Amino acid sequence: MPVTRGFHRRRPEPERGRLPPGQYDTGSSWPVLSAEATPHQPEESWTFSIDGLVESPHTWTWQELQALPGSTFFGDIHCVTTWSKLDTTFSGVSVDDLLAVARPDPAAAFVMAHSVTGYTTNLPLADVTGGRAWVVWSFDGKPLPRQHGGPLRLLVPHLYFWKSAKWLSRLELMAEDLPGFWEQNGYHDRGDPWREQRYQGDD
Ligand SMILES: Nc1nc2c(c(=O)[nH]1)N[C@H]1C(S)=C(S)[C@@H](COP(=O)(O)O)O[C@H]1N2
Ligand SMILES: [Mo]
């Protein structure tokens, strides 16, 4: 029963409740999980676009992104392979601010995030709005390392980390849900770590 859960159990680690079910704290390490080779396109030629079902498709250059009002996330990230990393700090711009420029069509309900490498991942539009998603280029105040998605990655920390596409080039707004790379390979469409939505068929 949820009400009595933990009542008879000792909880030595004070922060235990911060870990979603089945996750462990990876501490100061940060595993690299990449399906592709790390791309090395320079920042100066990087562009990021929002297109698809929007009123005003828009492409930002690297310099234009840096000039936007900044936004910082401080909190935890959770990989489906069961590591979580606590107290991370990522900075960039909030997806809300980018969408305010592109103006989603009322029919838009899903997003496909595209990496320059061809990696894709799908998300409900509602999961990248409301101050819960960022396009980031710095970690702990330093440029985001290449192997972790630098120069630019998506950050959607309330979902499993495969939704946070590295080397982000594009958010495509869609009316219908289409599976991205891992979702076509058996992973869950939404991927909420607190509900342990790891694989297709999980709740
Ligand atoms: N382009 C791209 N983005 C990606 C991935 C990938 O393989 N390619 N892996 C995803 C997965 S499964 C995780 S857990 C995180 C890993 O990010 P990290 O390598 O910075 O820890 O990136 C996600 N974004
Ligand atoms: Mo992952």
Return the ligand 1 atom nearest residue 154 CA. Answer: 24
In-domain check, residue 85: yes
In-domain check, residue 6: no
Domain with 84, as residue range(s), is: 44-184
User: How far apart are the C-alpha atoms of 105 and 116, rounded to whole Å?
Assistant: 25
Return the ligand 1 atom nearest residue 119 CA. Answer: 1
In-domain check, residue 37: no
In-domain check, residue 7: no
Residues whose CB falls within 8 Å of the CB of residue 53, separated by 6 or more in sequence, listed in order: 104, 105, 107, 108, 173, 174, 175
Give the ligand whose atoms come closest to the C-alpha of residue 180: 1
CATH classification of the domain holding 170: 3.90.420.10
The predicted pLDDT at position 203 comes to: 86
Instruction: Report the pLDDT averaged over residues 162-168.
Output: 98
Instruction: Report the pLDDT averaged over residues 184-190.
Output: 97
The predicted pLDDT at position 7 comes to: 44
pLDDT digits 0-9 by tens, 34-93:
999 999 999 999 999 999 999 999 999 999 999 999 999 999 999 999 999 999 999 999
In-domain check, residue 193: no
In-domain check, residue 33: no
Instruction: Report the pLDDT averaged over residues 93-115.
Output: 98
Instruction: Report the pLDDT averaged over residues 113-118.
Output: 98
The predicted pLDDT at position 16 comes to: 53
Distance 100 CA to ligand 2 centre (A): 29
Indicate the SS3 state at residue 113: strand
pLDDT digits 0-9 by tens, 119-153:
999 999 999 999 999 999 999 999 999 999 999 99
pLDDT digits 0-9 by tens, 14-41:
455 899 999 999 999 999 999 999 999 9
In-domain check, residue 53: yes
Overall number of domains in the chain:
1
Q: Are 87 and 75 in contact (CB under 8 A)?
A: yes
Residue 48: name the closest of 91, 88, 101, 108 by CA: 101
User: How far apart are the C-alpha atoms of 170 and 51, rounded to whole Å?
Assistant: 8
Does 169 contact ligand 1 (Cβ within 6 A)?
no
Residue 9 has pLDDT above 60, yes or no: no
Distance 172 CA to ligand 2 centre (A): 22
User: How far apart are the C-alpha atoms of 194 and 162, rounded to whole Å?
Assistant: 15
Residue 159 has pLDDT above 60, yes or no: yes
Distance 191 CA to ligand 2 centre (A): 11
In-domain check, residue 142: yes
